[in-house]
Structure 1
Amino acid sequence: MVRAENGFAGLIRLVGRALPGSPSARGLIVVLFSYFFFALHDAMVKVLVARYDAPEILFIRSLTVVVLCLTLGGRGVVTRGLFSPVRGKLLTRAVLTLIAWLLYYSSARYLELPQLITIYFASPLIIAVMAGPMLGEKVTAIRWVALAIGFVGVLLAARPHGASHILPVLCVGAAAVIWAYAMILMRQIASELRGFDQVFVIAVLFLITCGASLPFLWKTPSLPALLLMLSLGIMSTIAQLLLIEGVKLAQASVIAPMEFSGLLWSFVFGYLIFGDIPNADIFLGAGFILLSGGMVVISEIRQGRRNRLLRQSP
Structure 2
Amino acid sequence: MQTPAASRLPASPSAGRATPPSGDAPLAGILFMLMAVALFSVMDTLAKALTTSFPVAQILLFRAAASLLVLLPLAWAFGGPALVRQVRGAERKLLVAGLLGAAALSCFLMAWRTLPLVEVGAVLFAAPVIVTALSVPLLREPVGLHRWSAVIVGFIGVMVVLRPGGAVFVPEALWAVLGGLCYALWMISLRTAGKAVSPNLVAVTNALIMLALALPLALWVWTPPSLPQATALVGLGIVGGLAQFCLVRAFSLAPAALVAPFDYSYILYATILGYFVFGDLPALSTWIGAGLLTASGLYIIHRERVTARRS
Same fold, judged at TM 0.5 (above) = yes
Correspondence for 1:89? 93
Distance 1:90 1:107, change over 3 A: same
Aligned to 1:54: 56
Pair 1:176 & 2:183 matched: no
Aligned to 1:23: none
For structure 1, the 5+ residue unaligned runs are 1-8, 21-25
Mapping for residues 74-223 of structure 1, pairs under 5 Å: 74=76, 76=81, 79-80=84-85, 83-106=87-110, 122-161=126-165, 173-223=177-227
Q: Using the alignment, how far apart are the partners of 1:224 and 1:77 within structure 2?
A: 39
The CA RMSD over aligned residues, in Å, is 4.2
Deviation at 1:87, TM superposition (A): 1.5
Residue number in structure 2 paired with 1:67: 69
Question: Closer, same or farther in 2 for the Cα pair 1:186/1:294, shift >3 Å?
Answer: closer
> Matches of residues 243-258 of structure 1 in structure 2 within 5 Å?
243=247, 249-250=255-256
Asked whether the equivalents of residues 120 and 176 of structure 1 are also in contact (C-alpha less than 8 Å), the reply is yes
Summarize the Cα distance change of 1:211–1:261 in structure 2 as closer, same or farther, 3 Å threshold: same
Deviates more, 1:284-293 or 1:267-276: 284-293
Matching residue's letter, 2:216: A
Deviations 1:196-230 (A, max 9, x none): 21111121122222221333332332333222222
From the superposition, tell whether residues 182 and 293 of structure 1 become closer, same or farther in structure 2 (CA, over 3 Å): closer
Question: Per-residue deviation at 1:46?
Answer: 0.8
Match of 2:284 in 1: 280
Q: Please tell me whether the aligned partners of residues 118 and 155 of structure 1 are also in contact (alpha carbons under 8 angstroms).
A: no
| Structure 2 Cα separation of the partners of residues 125 and 296 of structure 1 | 8
Residues 1:16 and 1:298: Cα distance change in structure 2 (over 3 Å):
farther
Q: Paired residues, what number?
A: 285
The normalised TM-score by structure 1 is: 0.69
1:41 and 2:65 correspond: no
Helix, strand or coil for the counterpart of 1:71?
helix
How far 1:158 moved relative to its partner?
4.1
Please name the residue that 1:6 is paired with: none
Residues 15 and 108 of structure 1: is their aligned pair in 2 closer, same or farther, counting only changes over 3 Å?
Answer: farther
Task: From the superposition, tell whether residues 247 and 71 of structure 1 become closer, same or farther in structure 2 (CA, over 3 Å).
Answer: closer
Provide the residue aligned with 1:17 in structure 2. 24
Residue 91 of structure 1 deviates from its aligned partner by 0.7
Matches of 2:119 and 2:297, distance apart in 1:
22
1-structure distance, mates of 2:23, 2:144? 24
Distance (Å, rounded) in 2 between the aligned partners of 1:148 and 1:97: 25
Q: 1:56–1:214: 8 Å Cα contact kept in structure 2?
A: yes
Which shows bigger deviation, 150-159 or 200-209? 150-159
Aligned to 1:231: 235
Structure exhibiting the larger radius of gyration computed from Cα positions: 1
Identical-residue share of aligned pairs (%): 26
Q: Per-residue displacement from partner, 1:145-192 (whole Å, max 9, x unpaired)?
A: 334334433433444445565xx7766554433322221110111132
Alignment-mate amino acid for residue 188 of structure 1: T
CA distance in 2, matches of 1:134, 1:60: 33
- CA–CA distance in structure 1, aligned partners of residues 248 and 103 of structure 2: 20
Give SS of 1:61's match: helix
**What is the letter of the counterpart of residue 54 of structure 2?**
Y
Contact 1:126 1:180 in 2 (8 A): yes
1:216–1:295 Cα change, 3 Å: closer
- 2:24 aligns to what SS in structure 1? helix
- Is the alpha carbon distance of 1:78 and 1:88 closer, same or farther for their aligned partners in structure 2, counting shifts above 3 Å? same
What is the CA–CA distance in structure 1 between the aligned matches of 2:149 and 2:99, rounded to whole Å? 32
Higher RCO, 1 vs 2 (CA within 8 Å, ≥6 residues apart): 2
Instruction: Give the unaligned 5+ runs of structure 2.
Output: 1-11
1:271 is displaced (CA, Å) by 1.5
